[in-house]
A and B are shown apart, each in its own frame.
Chain A
Amino acid sequence: MSRWTIFFLVILLGLGLGLVYGWMINPVSFQDTTFNSLRIDYKTDYTLMVAEVYHQEKDLEWALNRLTLLDDPTPLASVEDALRFASQADYTLPDMFLLRDLHNAIEGAN
């Protein structure tokens, strides 16, 4: 095997080791994240909080503004995701109602 072949093989080996270390052993630490990166149960709870406030205050503009922070395609999609997860996770009927209430309000405004 020529020296150049060995040289490139060793570079590939180093590259592989670097990727394994940088992606698996010591990945970039998760700091300063956004709402969009939250786990689905936290996102659902966030949406539920918005729904709780909306149910009391009926301020749809404020609710949409808060849901936009989740950075989903649309605020309606955020509520639909939350409803889906809440249904799978056996959320209580009152909480499901609050989410549906918010969902209906957004759908009605569109």
Chain B
Amino acid sequence: MEQNRSNWYILTGLILGLVIGLVYAWVISPVEEVDTHPHLLREDYQDIYRALIARAYQANNNLPRAEARLELIDDEEPALVLAAQAQRFLAEGGDVEMAKVLANLSAALQSAASSAATPSLSSSAGNTPSSGNETPQVTPTPEANTAQPNQNTPTPGEEGPSAPTSTPTESPPFILQDSSPICDPTLGESLIQVIATNSNGEGVPGVALEISLGPDLTEVFYTGLKPEVGLGYADFLAEPGLAYTLEVPESGLVIQDIEVPTCTSESGNSYWGGWEVYITHPN
């Protein structure tokens, strides 16, 4: 009996010490967070980091470098995440130009991915630190995770590669190809869908579109914010029964009286349809 009492107080002391030690190590004085990685940043800081990458890309037009930087955040689909961030930014009433910058990088990544002539990252990713989980040739480093000279970075006096990213809207104006109501029960929503293409039939991202219900009710949206649907695709959730006016400001193109139709399904049920607008460059 006496021996049992001795064992219990030893165990009690050990557990007490363990609990105090763990509380101190995990709560009171946890290991200091130093030398961390961008993918461990808080979500809002990751948004800032992505926005900064997009702005830097806008400034230097160096896509491989932007790609290498985005890899550090470890997004599975950087282009989609950028597009989603641009949409979220617009929805929250953020700066339209910033959303466009994000969308431009997203579109550039999509274009690069779909192109067979994607440049090698090692050629110009340059001084971007390596994430540790990428292949060595992405950003070879003289020392672990440090930098390496970048031959493709513009020299201070050379403005060529540093010129602002050209936007598709700097191309010839768009003309209307088709504008018509559609009945598609699979859509699920009454969408005004815009598809902007160039003369080769390729989607054109970054086209500013204005939709309005009058002079005081105007909303701006852009093609390319849903790259998973198409680079030249944009949509707007329409309210049935209202007549919208769609404008492509930089082309002076105005499409009036856009009103989602009432459709009837095969089973005889009625539902709200959508509207499709196709615009294209004439040459």
Q: A interface vs B, CB < 8 Å?
A: 3, 6-23, 27-28, 30-35, 37-42, 44-46, 48-50, 52-53, 55-57, 66, 69, 85-86, 88-95, 97-98, 101
Contacts and interface: CB of A to CB of B under 8 A. Distances in A.
Interface of B: 6, 9-10, 12-26, 30-31, 33-38, 40-43, 45, 48-49, 52-53, 55-56, 58-60, 69, 72, 126-129, 142-143, 145-151, 153-156, 162, 164
21 contacts: A6-B10, A7-B13, A11-B20, A14-B14, A15-B17, A19-B24, A21-B21, A23-B25, A30-B33, A33-B41, A37-B35, A39-B36, A41-B147, A42-B38, A42-B129, A45-B127, A53-B52, A56-B164, A88-B146, A90-B149, A94-B150
B129 A19 contact: no
A33 B25 contact: no
Given A22-B26, A35-B41, A38-B38, A94 B56 contact: no
Contacts of A85: 146
A60 B56 CA distance: 15
Contact of B25 (A3, A14, A27, A56): A27
Q: Lowest 3 A-B CB distances belong to which pairs?
A: A18-B21, A14-B17, A22-B25
Interface residue SS majority, chain B: helix
B26 A94 contact: no
A37 B35 CA distance: 6
Given A6-B10, A14-B15, A69-B48, A33 B40 contact: yes
Contacts, number: 192
Given A33-B33, A91-B147, A53 B126 contact: no
A35 B151 CA distance: 28
A14 B14 CA distance: 5
Given A37-B33, A42-B129, A52-B60, A14 B20 contact: yes
A49 B53 contact: yes
Given A14-B14, A52-B60, A90-B142, A41 B45 contact: no
Given A56-B162, A90-B147, A95-B153, A21 B13 contact: no
Contact of B19 (A18, A23, A30, A48): A18
Contacts of B14: 10-11, 13-14, 17
A28 B17 contact: no
B5 to A, nearest CB: 9
B41 A95 contact: no
Contacts of B151: 92
Contact of A57 (B10, B15, B59): B59
Interface residue SS majority, chain A: helix
A85 B35 CA distance: 14
A57 B154 CA distance: 16
Contact of B147 (A15, A33, A89): A89
A86 B148 CA distance: 10
Contact of B10 (A7, A19, A30, A55): A7
Contacts of A55: 59, 162
